[in-house]
């Protein structure tokens, strides 16, 4: 079988790349080593910017995929002192 593009990794970035390439006329193979869904170091968090891109490319995220609480920012605690609040421009979700 012939493909124009091979995308390795079916995480959010790989899925977005495969979708964009496919909609642009390329024949795309998307491969993933792990069984999905899988644990990710980010804990599965989707930033407001990423949520917007996902919804633009795929439509609304199904409610069954979203934990019921929005995340409005992050707090960064530094080992040698410093406590920083990082508000998001819009809610993200876990």
pLDDT tens readout for residues 13-44: 898 899 999 999 999 999 999 887 777 666 66
Q: At CA 44, angle to CA 43 and CA 50, rounded to 5?
A: 130
Average of per-residue pLDDT values in the chain? 85
In 3D space, the residue among 33, 87, 93 whose CA is nearest the CA of residue 67 turns out to be 93
Residue predicted with more confidence, 31 or 55: 31
**Calpha distance 52→24 (Å, rounded):** 20
Q: Which residues pair with 88 in a beta bridge?
A: none
Q: Residue ranges of the domains in the chain?
A: 1-38, 41-94
């Amino acid at each position: 079988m012939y493909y124009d593009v091979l995308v390795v990794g079916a995480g959010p970035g790989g899925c977005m790349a495969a979708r964009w390439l496919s909609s642009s006329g390329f024949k795309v193979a998307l491969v993933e080593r792990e069984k999905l869904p899988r644990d990710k170091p980010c804990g599965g968090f989707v930033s407001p910017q990423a949520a917007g891109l996902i919804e633009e490319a795929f439509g609304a995220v199904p409610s069954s995929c979203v934990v019921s609480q929005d995340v409005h920012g992050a707090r960064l605690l530094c080992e040698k002192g410093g406590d920083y609040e990082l508000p998001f421009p819009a809610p993200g979700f876990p």
